[in-house]
Structure formats: C-alpha cells, structure tokens
Chain A
Amino acid sequence: DAGVIQSPRHEVTEMGQEVTLRCKPISGHNSLFWYRQTMMRGLELLIYFNNNVPIDDSGMPEDRFSAKMPNASFSTLKIQPSEPRDSAVYFCASSDPGQGRHGGDTQYFGPGTRLTVL
C-alpha cells in the first residue's frame, strides 16, 4: 500500500486566496483525521471523519476552514480566505478501528502539506 497520500506537498499563496489540501487515506481505513502542526501549538486535531461522516470538528479554527469527505478514498480541507497565521504543516491521517486491539489508535500519517501564506 502507498500509505496516506497528500497533495500538494508544498503550497505558497497570498493572503486572501483560497487553498485546497487533498488527502487519500489508506484503502480500507474508515477513519480520517486532519491535523495542523506549528512550532507554537504543536499537533492540533482539526476534524475527523468516521465512515465519511464528520464526527468532531471542534478543532476547526473558524468558518474560513471547511472539510469534506465525499467518499471513502478522498477528503479535502479548504481555507477561504487564507491568512498568514494559517501557515503550518497540515497532516492527514487514517486509521482502521477494527484492526487489532488498538487499531483505532494507530493513526497512519501522510507526509503533510507545508502551507505558507504570504
């Protein structure tokens, strides 16, 4: 398996522009997570889906952020309009709660998208 796939790997944009980050989870995994990582705040959970349904979006900073999971193999995180404080590495992770005793806690992370908003 190729693991979790994220695109783009790097994104540089200007303040006010729309940014769309993409994620393809590991095939067969039914939980998907979006995280943001910064030096100041560490790794923060933004939202997670179970069976394509958003379960907890309490970590989404504000209305400028939205996430969708139209099917089991694809998810997007959109920021509109983007601001310089959104600059961070955004990770997507997937897990299979049915896999083993702690399958649900074994989250497989993608390589991340490094976002810079100028």
Chain B
Amino acid sequence: QKEVEQDPGPLSVPEGAIVSLNCTYSNSAFQYFMWYRQYSRKGPELLMYTYSSGNKEDGRFTAQVDKSSKYISLFIRDSQPSDSATYLCAMRPYSSASKIIFGSGTRLSIRP
C-alpha cells in the first residue's frame, strides 16, 4: 500500500463549478500538507501549504486537513479553464529533515 493515495482522474468539470480533490494517507506522523499544481510539460509548483488539521483559504482555493481520518482535500471555487492541470498532494512528518512524499496526482480539466 502506498503511503499517499490519490485518485488519478481524469476529472472534467464545467467552468464555474466547485472542484474537490482529495488524498488519503496512512502515516499518522505526517504533519505538513501541501498541494502542488503541475501544468502540462512543466514542473510542479507549490499552490497551498497547511500544518496539522484545519482549513486554509487563499483566493478561490481552500485546503482542508482531517488528521483523524487521514484525509486531505483541495477545493477550487469558480473554476476557470486556467485551472486545468494535474494537482499533486504532498506531505511530510514534523522533522524538516524528512523527505516529502507526493501523491500520484489528479488530472483536472475545466471545460469552457
């Protein structure tokens, strides 16, 4: 079993819809949670960052962490065609020396 599981998609929604992307994980030591966005033929870039449980909002993006369920989510409101990309969740334990574990990514397409 992988430490981090992510539905690969693809997920296709109409412009303006609310998008929900999710990951589950098995390592209870994970404390830091990230979402990276990767456009086609590009490297991933950090989109959202949260520590421990709770919500964090940044514009149209909301990251949610539920450590009791080992489940994290990224919500995109008022989705735009420019949001079409692959979204990778990532996480690591408390120690900054620990490596980050990435999910395999969910491919998202926003239809105009």
Contact = CB atoms under 8 A, between A and B. Distances in A.
Interface of A: 4, 41-43, 45, 48, 55-56, 91, 93, 97, 102, 104-112
A4 B100 contact: no
B72 interface: no
Contact of A111 (B42, B92, B96, B100): B42
Dominant secondary structure of chain B at its interface with chain A: loop
A42 B43 contact: no
Interface string B32-74: 1010000001111110010100000000000000000000000
A55 B104 CA distance: 24
Interface size band for B: 20 to 34
Given A43-B88, A102-B32, A105-B92, A93 B43 contact: yes
B49 to A, nearest CB: 5
Nearest to A50: B97
Contact of A105 (B43, B88, B100, B103): B100
Contacts of B45: 108-109
Given A41-B104, A42-B102, A105-B92, 5 more contacts: A42-B104, A97-B96, A105-B34, A105-B49, A112-B41
